[in-house]
Structure 1
Amino acid sequence: METIVVKVDSSSLLTPERIDKLAERILKHRSNGKNTIVVVPSIELLEGKLLPYSSIFTERIADRESHALKAINTQVASSLLAILLEKKGCKAVSLSGWQAGIEVVKSNGNILIEQIHHDFLLERIHNGEIAIVAGSQGYDQYKDLWTLGEGGPETTAIAIGTALDAEYVEILTEQDGIYTAESSVVKEARKLKEVTYDEMLELAHLGSTFVHPRAVELAKKYEMPIVVRSSTNDVEGTWIKGEVKMEKNRVVRGVAYEADIIRLTVGFDSYENSSLANIFMTLSKFNIDVDIIVQAVIDGVKPTVSFSIAKEDFAEAIKVLEQNKAQLGFSFADFEVGLAKVSIVGSGMVSNPGVAAQMFDRLRKENIIVKMVSTSEIKVSVVVPQDEMVRAANVLHDEFQLVEEYVN
């Protein structure tokens, strides 16, 4: 029997009725001849009761105990689902991260999966059981429990699927697949049948919330197919894989957006005093992520470098720059708020020159000002005024005819 891994979304665990529906969904996989491993996220059952006690006991909680507390809800979720599956006559077992053999390691302040000792999972499969794994957790070399943070449950599912050589990983969400744009912004967005790993990575990094980029990166590395499907409706979803069947003349396959972008501009008295390496190495030491970078070096004009950052990093970035002004050698730092980033993504751009020009031309015709530009082989991003973000996303969705159905 082929093995699949199903990553559940938290909305499927909110009520007994939803858990029951989820259990039926999992049993359907079993009836179709699939060995099934289920990965569950955290639920909020205990947030209002036990967890707040920790802040009463002490103002500063040790990292080890903080992670142990975060892991509790996930283990409750796995147990509840296992109990219901047993009630329905199916052998099931809930497993914590360490029971599932998930070994983690600390790296630059992050918790990463080091390896999965999958013998126990294989034993459960051979016993005819459905293993319900508490996602986003594992143990380190000292047997301490740690949680993976953002994107942890999806990453856990991909890692388990890779370790067990699964046929694919199914990710259940409140939406029924991946769309050409966020439907809350672009009303005519439509569901995609397939996207490549690279396209999904770009969409995820550019603001799409369908699948976390760290999970996509892991899937790409080990070529693990992913299907994103609805957690409530049994309909076809969207496949994420290495290669897709490109439809006729479909160069751009998605539009993404990100609000609350800030542009910082640093100016120097002379080129000799400027150093991109010094600026960005200093910012990176304080974990400040920089996105689009534009440098202007023109004879007779004082050089400048502009870069975009997220709103939440703004105060810290200004503080770091001012504290290191003498060392960095810049003469002034200025900023502009009220900006957004809008991007087009498509692997077909590689072999189709002129896509950026088409994008800029449409934005010009719509009188939408472009303040910064960033490109890669499969995406073009522009920074525009935030009050134009929604309109820009819609006109680009229209410009590249993403509302049209696929050509088979």
Structure 2
Amino acid sequence: MGSIVLKFGGPATASTERIQEVAKKVIAEKERGFNVVVVTAAMGRTTKDLTRMARDLSDDVSKRELDVLLATSSQLTSALFAMALQELGYDAVSLTGWQAGVQTDSVHYNARINNVNVRRIEEHFAEGKVVVVAGEQGIDEHQNITTLGKGGAETTAIAIAASLKAERVDIYTNVDGVYTADPSYIPEAQKLKEISYDEMLELSNLGSHILHPRAVELAKKFQMPVIIRSSITEAEGTLLKEEVEMEKNLLVRGVAFESDIIRLTVGYDAYSDASLADMFTTLAENRINVDIIVQAIIDGVKPSVSFSIVKDEFADALRVLEDSKLSLGFSFADFEIGLSKISIIGSGMASNPGVAARMFDRLRREDIPVKMVSTSEIKVSVVVPQDDMIRAANALHEEFNLEEALHA
């Protein structure tokens, strides 16, 4: 008998009523003859409420104790989910992450999965049970509870599926699939039937919040098929896999955008003072994620390097730069706020030159200034004023005919 893994979070687990509804989706898969693992995320605002209570007690909360506390949030959901299945007449058992065999490193609050021992899950399968696992958590080699941070539940689901050699993972979300752009802002956005791991990874890194990048990376590593689908409707969803059938042979298959981008510029008196390696090693050691990097070395002008970061990391970046100014040898640091990042993504871009030129030309015709550029084989990202973000995204969606994505 084959197995599948279903992940539920967000609206699907926001209340006991919703849990009762989505439990029927689990039963439908069980009735199709599958062994089923359900992975649950935290219920509603539980994590935020628990974090607030911890902060009320201390401004310097132990990350170990915070993990112990936050692990209870998805355990709450998993136990309620198992109860709902039992009430509907199906044998189910809830497991914590460590009971399910999720073994992690020792980085509290942001652990990474090292291995999943699925022996206990398989024992419950042999008893005919649906197994409901609390996502976002595991245990380290010292038997300490750990939590996985952002994207933890879907990462747990894919890791368990890989260890079980499951047929697929279904990620139930508040949207019915992956669109060519966010339909809340791009009226002509179309749902994609399929998307490649690489395309999804770029979308996830560039502002799409449907699936966390670490989950996509794990799915790609183990070549695990993933369906992103709605927890509310019965829509078909979007299949995530290695290679896709290209709708309409579209060169660009998605437009992503992200607000609250900040450009930091660091200047030096002389090129001999500048060390990009030292600069970005220092930032990395402080877990500050740098995105687009532009270095300027021009005769007669003091050398500088600019890079983009998200707003949430701005204060930490400034602190690190100020604390390290002497060792890094720069003479000044400046910043620009009110920026956004727009990206076009598509695996067809790799073998078709001229896509970036079309992008730049359309933005020029829209009178939208481009302040920074970054490219890879399958994406082009630009930094533009935030006030122009939605207009730029709509223009690029139209430029590359993405409204035709479903009309193959």
Say yes or no: TM over 0.5.
yes
More off after superposition, 295-304 vs 95-104? 295-304
Give the alignment of 1:251-262 within 5 angstroms. Answer: 251-262=251-262
The alpha-carbon deviation at position 407 of structure 1 amounts to: 5.0
CA distance in 2, matches of 1:365, 1:249: 25
Give the superposition deviation at 1:109.
7.4
CA contact (8 A) 1:194 1:241 kept: yes
How far 1:49 sits from its partner (Å)?
8.1
Secondary structure (helix, strand or coil) at the match of 2:389 reads helix
Distance 2:51 2:358 in 1: 53
Encode CA deviations 1:234-284: one digit per residue, 9 max, x unaligned.
110001110101133300000001111111112222222221112112222
Aligned to 2:70: 70
Give the equivalent residue in structure 2 for 1:289: 289
| Preserved contact between residue 9 and residue 43 of structure 2 (Cα < 8 Å) | no
Q: Mean Cα displacement is larger for which, 299-308 or 352-361? A: 299-308
Q: 1:323 to 1:75 in 2, by over 3 A?
A: closer
Q: CA deviation at 1:190?
A: 1.1
C-alpha displacement at 1:397, in angstroms?
Answer: 0.4
Q: Read off the aligned partner of 1:171 and give its amino acid letter.
A: I
Cα pair 2:109 2:147 within 8 Å, conserved = no
Q: Which residue of 1 aligns with 2:11?
A: 11
Q: Secondary structure at the match of 1:373?
A: strand
Alpha-carbon distance in 1 for matches of 2:45, 2:300: 64
CA distance in 2, matches of 1:108, 1:172: 27
Residue 385 of structure 1 pairs with residue 389 of structure 2: no
**Please, which moves more after superposition, 292-301 or 129-138?**
292-301
1:373 aligns with 2:385: no
The answer to whether the Cα contact below 8 Å between 1:45 and 1:73 also exists between their aligned partners in 2 is no
Alpha-carbon distance in 1 for matches of 2:265, 2:388: 22
Q: What is the CA–CA distance in structure 2 between the aligned matches of 1:323 and 1:53, rounded to whole Å?
A: 32
In structure 2, give the amino acid aligned to 1:124: H
Give the alignment's TM-score, normalised by structure 1.
0.95
Report the Cα offset of residue 17 of structure 1: 2.5
CA 335–257 in structure 1, closer or farther in 2 if over 3 Å, else same: same
Contact 2:7 2:171 in 1 (8 A): yes
Assess, with a 3 A threshold, how the Cα gap between structure 1 residues 282 and 16 changes in structure 2: closer, same or farther: closer
- Structure 1 residues 292 and 108: alpha-carbon distance in aligned structure 2, compared to 1, 3 A threshold: farther
1:336 pairs with 2:316: no
SS at match of 2:249: coil
Q: 1:291 to 1:56 in 2, by over 3 A?
A: closer
* TM-aligned CA distance change 1:339 to 1:169, over 3 Å: same
Deviates more, 1:50-59 or 1:18-27: 50-59
Assess if the C-alpha contact under 8 Å between 2:106 and 2:146 holds in 1: no
Q: 1:37 to 1:280 in 2, by over 3 A?
A: same
TM-fit CA distance, 1:302: 2.1
* 1:289 partner SS: coil
Amino acid aligned to 1:10: G
Q: How far apart, in 2, do the equivalents of 1:304 and 1:52 lie?
A: 41
Gaps of 5+ in 2: none
Gapped runs of 5+ residues in structure 1? none
Cα shift at 1:324: 2.4
Please state whether the residue corresponding to 1:175 is helix, strand or coil: coil
- 1:139 to 2:133 alignment: no
| Separation in structure 1 between the aligned mates of residue 146 and residue 12 of structure 2, nearest angstrom | 24
Change (3 A) 1:185 1:24: same
Q: Which range moves more in the overlay, 8-17 or 203-212?
A: 8-17
* TM-score, length of structure 2 as denominator length: 0.95
In the alignment, the residues of structure 2 paired with residue 104 and residue 310 of structure 1 have an alpha-carbon distance, to the nearest angstrom, of 28
Instruction: After TM superposition, give the deviation of residue 107 of structure 1 in Å.
Output: 4.9
Distance 2:363 2:46 in 1: 49
The aligned amino acid for 2:93 is V
Residue 345 of structure 2 aligns with an amino acid whose one-letter code is V
Relative to structure 1, the CA distance from residue 189 to residue 320 in structure 2 (aligned partners, 3 Å threshold; closer, same or farther) is: same
- Whole-Å Cα distance in 2 between the matches of residues 311 and 62 of structure 1? 25
- Name the CA distance, whole Å, in 2 between partners of 1:46 and 1:304: 45
**8 Å contact from structure 1 (residues 207, 257) kept in 2:** yes
CA deviation string 1:54-103 (max 9, x = no partner):
55655544332211111112111111111111111111111111111111
